């Protein structure tokens, strides 16, 4: 079965209650994981951007203050973990720096199964990639914004378990989704799981990745796409998430029968008796 990841990311806007609502949504919809993003803004925010003033729903603040406003720490992630245990859903994070890797693996979270993801922005940071590989049980990488040479270098360096095809435009124009690259990855990396992380409008194109053989599907989720935040507009709302999960599971059922000469079975057998002499 395809693993379905509901990415909360930073769409919680630093609000643990909002995060818990989205965890509950993902659990009820039938997702396998919720995913967050973990970073140390002091390290990840470029120096030239740290003191820039940003207008936010919480007033004017520096860009660094804004990024810390969105960041969950040990207290919040302990609550995330407890709630995921309660609802029976697993969780993991994209990690943006070494400190965030250590945070994830050293806190002994019960609903965290050792999966970590390197986001598209960082697969060229080979030292980080190697460090994450040493620390996690399952490593996922995303390939957005990257050349084939950069992707190969990352894979050679850290031997990921899952390679996610993605386009990092939010939202992604459908003509730039390049789904034939999924075929390319499937044929080139026979011993890897291949996934798709979508940032496009709608669900139809995401469904189209299942016959291509993806093992993982990830979409950003939100309570409301007009809420403040850089990722909200390219996310799917509650009704869309339910449709996504049901659609994926229905498509899987439609492909359940192995490729073989046609057989008549099920309801067709009854029709056969009534419609043919």
Predicted confidence (pLDDT) per residue in 213-259, tens digit: 999 999 999 999 988 888 888 899 999 999 999 999 999 999 988 99
Q: Provide the pLDDT for residue 185.
A: 98
Strand segments, DSSP code E, in the chain are 3-9, 33-38, 53-56, 59-62, 90-95, 115-118, 138-142, 162-166, 193-198, 216-220
Determine the average pLDDT of the residues in 60-88.
96
Is a pLDDT exceeding 80 seen at residue 18? yes
Residue 62 lies in a domain: yes
Backbone angles phi, psi at 170, to 5 degrees: -115, 105
Q: Provide the pLDDT for residue 113.
A: 95
Q: Provide the pLDDT for residue 231.
A: 86
Residue 147 lies in a domain: no
165, 182 contact by CB (below 8 A): yes
Q: Provide the pLDDT for residue 227.
A: 87
CA of residue 55 relative to chain centroid, distance: 28
Q: Provide the pLDDT for residue 266.
A: 84
Determine the average pLDDT of the residues in 70-93.
97
Is a pLDDT exceeding 80 seen at residue 65? yes
Q: Helix (H, G, I), strand (E, B), or coil: what is residue 123? A: coil
Q: Provide the pLDDT for residue 229.
A: 83
Residue 58 lies in a domain: yes
Is a pLDDT exceeding 80 seen at residue 68? yes
Determine the average pLDDT of the residues in 110-123.
97
Residue 130 lies in a domain: no
Q: Provide the pLDDT for residue 236.
A: 96
User: CA–CA separation, 108 vs 121, rounded Å?
Assistant: 27
Token pair of 269 as six digits: 């057998």
> How many residues would you count in the chain?
277
Residues of the domain holding 113? 3-121+199-275
The count of C-alpha atoms lying within 13 angstroms of the C-alpha of 272, restricted to the half-sphere facing its C-beta, is 7
Distances (CA, A) of 269 to 80, 263, 275, 277: 50, 10, 10, 13
Residue 66 lies in a domain: yes
Residue 174 lies in a domain: no
202, 195 contact by CB (below 8 A): no
User: CA–CA separation, 139 vs 137, rounded Å?
Assistant: 7
Q: Provide the pLDDT for residue 253.
A: 95
Residue 146 lies in a domain: no
Q: What predicted TM-score, i.e. pTM, was given to this entire model?
A: 0.94
Q: How many structural domains compose the chain? A: 1
Lowest-pLDDT choice from 17-21, 197-201, 227-231: 227-231
**Residues in CB range of 26: below 8 A, 6 or more apart:** 6, 8, 33, 34, 89, 221, 241
Q: Provide the pLDDT for residue 33.
A: 98
Domain harbouring 101, CATH code: 3.20.20.70
Q: Provide the pLDDT for residue 272.
A: 87
Across the chain, what does the average pLDDT equal?
96
Q: Provide the pLDDT for residue 91.
A: 98
User: CA–CA separation, 82 vs 222, rounded Å?
Assistant: 21
The band of 273, judged by pLDDT with boundaries at 50, 70 and 90, is confident
Residue 11 lies in a domain: yes
Is a pLDDT exceeding 80 seen at residue 277? no
């Amino acid at each position: 079965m395809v693993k379905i990841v509901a990415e909360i990311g930073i769409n919680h806007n630093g609000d643990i209650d909002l995060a818990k609502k989205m965890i509950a949504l993902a659990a009820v919809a039938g997702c396998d994981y919720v995913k967050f993003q973990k970073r140390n803004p002091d390290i990840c925010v470029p120096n030239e951007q740290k003191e820039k003033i940003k207008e936010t729903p919480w007033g004017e603040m520096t860009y660094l203050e804004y990024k810390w406003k969105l960041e969950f720490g040990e207290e919040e992630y302990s609550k995330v973990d407890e709630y995921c245990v309660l609802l029976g859903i697993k969780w993991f994070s994209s990690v943006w720096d070494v400190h965030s890797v250590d945070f994830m693996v050293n806190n002994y979270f019960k609903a965290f199964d050792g999966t970590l993801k390197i986001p598209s922005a960082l697969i060229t940071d080979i030292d980080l990639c190697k460090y994450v590989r040493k620390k996690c049980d399952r490593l996922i990488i995303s390939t957005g914004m990257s050349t084939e040479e950069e992707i190969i270098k990352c894979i050679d360096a850290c031997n990921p378990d899952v390679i996610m095809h993605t386009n990092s435009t939010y939202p992604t124009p459908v003509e730039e989704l390049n789904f034939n690259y999924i075929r390319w990855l499937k044929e080139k990396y026979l011993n890897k799981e291949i996934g798709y992380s979508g940032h496009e409008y709608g669900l139809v194109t995401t469904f189209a990745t299942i016959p291509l053989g993806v093992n993982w599907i990830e979409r950003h989720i939100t309570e409301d796409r007009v809420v403040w935040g850089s990722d909200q507009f390219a996310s799917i709302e509650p009704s869309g998430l339910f449709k996504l999960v049901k659609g994926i599971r229905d498509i899987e059922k439609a492909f359940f029968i192995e490729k073989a000469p046609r057989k008549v079975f099920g309801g067709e057998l009854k029709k056969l008796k009534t419609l043919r002499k």
